[in-house]
Amino acid sequence: MSRVGGWTGRSAAALQSALRLSQERFAEHLGISARTVASWHKKPDLRPQSEMQQVLDAAHERASEAERIRFAELTGEAPAAHTRPDTTEADRRLAADPHIGAALEWLDQHAYRRPGAARRAVAEQAARVDAQESYDRATRRAWVGQRAVADALAGYYGRTHGDHGLYAGSCGDHAVNTSIVTCADWLDLACELRPPHDGLTVASARPGPPLVLDEHATNAAVQRLAETVAMNTRLMNAPLYRLLSTDIHERHLGGSFGVDHFVHYALTMDLLEGELLDALAVGDTTSLPLRDRYLPDLGSVLNVGGRLCAGGALALTAIARPADPYRGEADYVLLVQERSGHVLNATRRLAVIPKGFHQPLTDIRREAQIGATLRREMEAYSRHLRLPFPACQHQRRTVY
């Protein structure tokens, strides 16, 4: 159930009053920060971003009949009748796709605590997805520059935490900030990504406390799956390495990995980038509830064993070119691509080549080294671009 005109600070505050909750309890009820609720009271004409609109829609839908009547009285609206959308097409794909089925099972376990609840929620939300709004949001995200992202993360986290901090560099007279967290001991390793220097190994994942999604995190996960279904985006569930510990020093890159599944990452940590891009697109980064929950400070960033630390290995490929009478002096070709509009994450964003999730394909222990993933991805891109991979001999000596 969504309000036709959309939510404003005034109507959100009215919902709080209808539910008879304090600002702190209302924030807890929605799974967001109390400062966001306070901003609705201070700025009644403020229109929350689309993800927050969905959170308020869901809270209004779960309200009792008496609470909806109170809300209607406070806003001067007639209570809307609840109608279930046609979920025939969404149900068809949910039943046919085993990868989305795995995501639904994971969501049932960690959010709803009862079988089948996630399927119903995703099917109904998929029937409500506005395809044009989804395309428009992807376009707005693509307009956000990397410098804006780096600056926003620096503002959120601060620049240092003990011996660690955000990496910055310079290019000529231009200072370049990044979102990379590092320390002096991790720089200039001169480490070849091959044994024995690349010493990453597989260990049994240490069991942690069971993850239970709050209301906002659940709504965000449901929305991710609903858009995946409605937009016919490909989702592939597969084993994924998750970092448990690090041992990094000169000429050595070590540590240990456990194994998780992609749907866990896709429905939690992978949502943080989109949340930040949406906030930057509308010029308001005061409310980042998913980041507040999953990665609230640099201490949590560095605590790799206490969170889901998973993702991809990145490398900038530079291929030397000799001098040419037409092109000029000797230079390098840098491989960079714009990602497709049909991938699940980093849609339409520029990305280096090779880039790929660090995950096993056949042998979990043998493929745990970062160099294995980079060489695999480079060979795949070489075939795609019809480049003679063995001729790129410098790739055989990938250095971290």
User: pLDDT (tens digit, 0 to 9) for every residue of the chain, 400 residues total?
Assistant: 445 568 999 999 999 998 989 889 899 888 888 889 999 999 988 888 878 888 888 888 888 777 888 888 888 776 555 556 788 888 888 888 999 999 999 999 999 888 889 999 999 899 888 888 888 888 898 889 888 999 999 999 998 999 999 998 888 888 888 889 999 999 989 998 888 999 999 987 565 667 888 888 999 999 999 999 988 888 889 999 999 999 999 999 999 999 999 999 999 999 999 999 999 998 888 889 999 999 999 999 999 999 999 988 888 888 899 998 888 899 998 888 777 666 666 666 777 777 788 999 888 998 998 988 888 887 877 776 665 544 433 333 333 3
Same domain? For 146 and 48 the reply is no
Asked if residue 94 is part of any domain, the answer here is no
CA–CA distance, 114 with 109 (Å, rounded to integer): 7
The last residue of a domain, from among 50, 82, 114: 82
Specify the pLDDT at position 379: 80
The model's pTM: 0.73
Same domain? For 176 and 295 the reply is yes
Sequence-separated (6 or more) residues with CB below 8 Å from residue 187: none
Same domain? For 316 and 174 the reply is yes
Same domain? For 20 and 144 the reply is no
- For residue 164, the 8-state DSSP code is E
Same domain? For 237 and 348 the reply is yes
User: Residue 67 belongs to what domain range?
Assistant: 1-82
Specify the pLDDT at position 288: 92
**Token pair of 156 as six digits:** 């959120």
Asked if residue 150 is part of any domain, the answer here is yes
Same domain? For 220 and 297 the reply is yes
Asked if residue 98 is part of any domain, the answer here is no
DSSP strands (E only) in the chain: 160-161, 164-171, 174-182, 198-202, 239-249, 252-261, 312-314, 318-321, 331-334, 336-338, 350-352, 355-357
Asked if residue 230 is part of any domain, the answer here is yes
Q: Which amino acid is at 274?
A: G
Residues in the chain, overall count = 400
Specify the pLDDT at position 133: 86
Number of domains composing the chain:
2
Asked if residue 225 is part of any domain, the answer here is yes
Same domain? For 156 and 32 the reply is no
Asked if residue 267 is part of any domain, the answer here is yes
Same domain? For 340 and 218 the reply is yes
The last residue of a domain, from among 58, 82, 106: 82
Same domain? For 168 and 46 the reply is no
Q: How far apart are the first and last CA of the chain?
A: 51
CA angle at residue 192 from 186 to 197, to 5 degrees? Answer: 80
Asked if residue 283 is part of any domain, the answer here is yes
Specify the pLDDT at position 83: 58
The last residue of a domain, from among 82, 100, 120: 82
